DNA sequence: GTCTATACATAGATAGAC
DNA sequence: GTCTATCTATGTATAGAC
């Protein structure tokens, strides 16, 4: 009975309604993609809230409404599932060129806000997945280290002064701290403040770091 | 044979040499304290470097040169062992009163440095144990949240301006970020800089936050 | 006080039925 | 494609011998 098995498949993976409003059985490929997506979404949610170690394959499968074995079938290992949870970054926007009429300090601050500021309100899940595990999962630690160093280097190239590398690093770390405080530690003062308020409050601080 | 068992005990727990240079058998209480200390030291080292989840009772026991069962005997559970690794804070020095001739901004910065600055070079292990697990071990998260909130409140009381609570929180978070970057993430720019350099670089930033 | 042995739970991963 | 059953490893915790 094809319709019967189709109903089962639908229950397992959610709605089977297509854009034309007609419910029909999925192809193998479609169903495969659908499952993968569901699993990946569940994985991201759990990795993000509990970190790598405390997120189990079994819990991911349960949250996705599939069998644990299926998770392995699709992703091969927990490590790989984690990697895939980090991937597919939604358009990691490169730094735009500076407005011509900005001072160096304003420019650096603008660059930081462009990179982080827009994220203060709504951070991509990939980032939060990485941040949550950055202190305890070695692979995540290394990735964060590289990201921060890269961002600091980019800033350094636009700064002056003997200690510009140090100041650039401090600026990057400051933004990291704010994101941690707001989205991971969830300090109530930070979650209660609007992103614009936070940016306004931290701006003088960043501009101070920007100047030699 | 008392001397024989004494030798064994010594090997298990290190030297039995006393201040008078004579090796003699320990009392039960002495040996108990000695074991506890060894276990606690090993636990702190592991919790600090690998975090709560990846630190196993077995690894702690191995590092301390004792049996896993003994760890349980002394501390009852892993949670409790972790708590004890956080305790015994070496003199959590209260904030000293401000020098009379400091501006409010300088005062706040001085207060932060007194609290954190001295730690930039040499952080108590207890603190690092807590920080390493603060993103993944709920009990640690909560403790950090409380600590930060408390410190921010203390600063807020000495500040002015509508957004002083927010700015105080940002100041505290900034210091946290630096400590994380230097001692946990171990960003090479930060580990390579002297504490004084870092303090000099971040001072204008903190003073900017201190002013309404 | 300390260690051996083990109970008990839960993890990641694999093999094969459907 | 998906699920059941299971293997294997490892963890915390306990009971009892020494």
Which comes out higher in pLDDT, residue B32 or B23? B32
pLDDT per position as a tens digit, A107-133: 888 888 887 877 788 899 999 999 999
Let me know: does A108 contact A155? Beta carbons within 8 Å: yes
Identify the H or E element spanning B99.
Answer: none
pLDDT per position as a tens digit, B160-171: 999 999 999 999
Q: According to the model, what pLDDT value does residue B89 have?
A: 63
Instruction: Flag whether pLDDT at A53 surpasses 70.
Output: yes
Q: According to the model, what pLDDT value does residue A7 have?
A: 34
C-alpha neighbours within 13 Å on the C-beta side of residue A211: 11
Question: CA–C1' distance B65–D2 (Å)?
Answer: 48
Under the phi-then-psi rule, with left for phi > 0, alpha for psi from -120 to 50, and beta for the rest, what region is B58?
Answer: alpha
pLDDT per position as a tens digit, B65-97: 999 999 999 999 999 999 999 997 655 544 445
Structure tokens at B87: 């305790």
pLDDT per position as a tens digit, A56-81: 999 999 999 999 999 999 999 999 99
Chain B residue nearest residue A164, CA to CA: B201
Q: According to the model, what pLDDT value does residue B197 have?
A: 95
Query: Looking at residues A136-154, what average pLDDT do you find?
Result: 96
CATH architecture of B2-86: Orthogonal Bundle (1.10)
Instruction: Flag whether pLDDT at B208 surpasses 70.
Output: yes
Mean pLDDT of chain B: 85
Size of chain B, expressed as the number of residues it contains: 212
For chain B, say whether A210 makes contact (Cβ under 8 Å): no
Q: Which CATH number does the domain A104-210 belong to among 1.10.3470, 1.10.860, 1.10.357, 3.30.70?
A: 1.10.357
DSSP state letter for B17: B
Query: Looking at residues B100-123, what average pLDDT do you find?
Result: 79
Residue ranges covered by each domain of chain B: 2-86, 104-210
Chain A residue nearest residue B52, CA to CA: A136
Query: Looking at residues B131-148, what average pLDDT do you find?
Result: 98
pLDDT per position as a tens digit, A177-193: 999 999 999 999 999 99
CB contact under 8 A, A181 and B173: yes
One-letter-per-residue 3-state SS of chain A: CHHHHHHHHHHHHCCCECCCCCECCCCHHHHHHHHHHHHHHHHHHHHHHHHHHHCCHHHHHHHHCCCHHHHHHHHCCHHHHHHHHHCCCCCCCCCCCCCCCCCHHHHHHHHHHHHHHHHHHCCCHHHHHHHHHCCCCHHHHHHHHHHHHHHHHHHHCCCCCCCHHHHHHHHHHHHHHHHHHHHHCCCHHHHHCCHHHHHHHHHHHHHHHHCC
Q: According to the model, what pLDDT value does residue B180 have?
A: 98
Q: Rounded to two decimals, what is the model's pTM?
A: 0.88
Classify the C-alpha dihedral B133-B139-B141-B145 as positive or negative.
negative
For strand D, the positions having any atom within 7 A of a protein Cβ are 1-5, 10-16
Cα separation, A210 vs A113, in Å, equals 13
Instruction: Flag whether pLDDT at B15 surpasses 90.
Output: no
CB contact under 8 A, A136 and B131: no
Identify the H or E element spanning B77.
Answer: none
């Amino acid at each position: 009975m094809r319709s019967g098995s189709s109903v089962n498949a639908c229950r397992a993976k959610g709605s089977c309604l297509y854009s034309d409003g007609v419910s029909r059985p999925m192809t193998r490929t479609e169903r495969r993609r659908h499952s993968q997506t569901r699993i990946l979404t569940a994985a991201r949610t759990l990795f993000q809230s509990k970190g790598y170690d405390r997120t189990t394959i079994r819990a991911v499968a349960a949250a996705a409404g599939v069998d644990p074995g299926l998770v392995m079938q699709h992703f091969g290992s927990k490590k790989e599932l984690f990697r895939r949870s980090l991937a597919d970054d939604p358009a990691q926007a490169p730094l735009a060129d500076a407005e011509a009429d900005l001072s160096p300090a304003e420019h650096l601050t603008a660059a930081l806000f462009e990179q982080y500021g827009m994220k203060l309100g709504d951070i991509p899940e990939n980032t939060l997945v990485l941040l949550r595990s950055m202190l305890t999962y070695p692979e995540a630690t290394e990735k964060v280290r590289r990201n921060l160093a890269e961002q600091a280097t980019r800033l350094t190239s636009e700064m002056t002064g003997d200690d510009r590398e140090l100041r650039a690093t401090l600026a990057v770390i400051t933004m990291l701290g704010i994101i941690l405080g707001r989205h991971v530690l969830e300090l109530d003062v930070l979650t209660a403040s609007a992103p614009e308020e936070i940016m306004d409050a931290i701006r003088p601080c960043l501009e101070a770091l920007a100047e030699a």
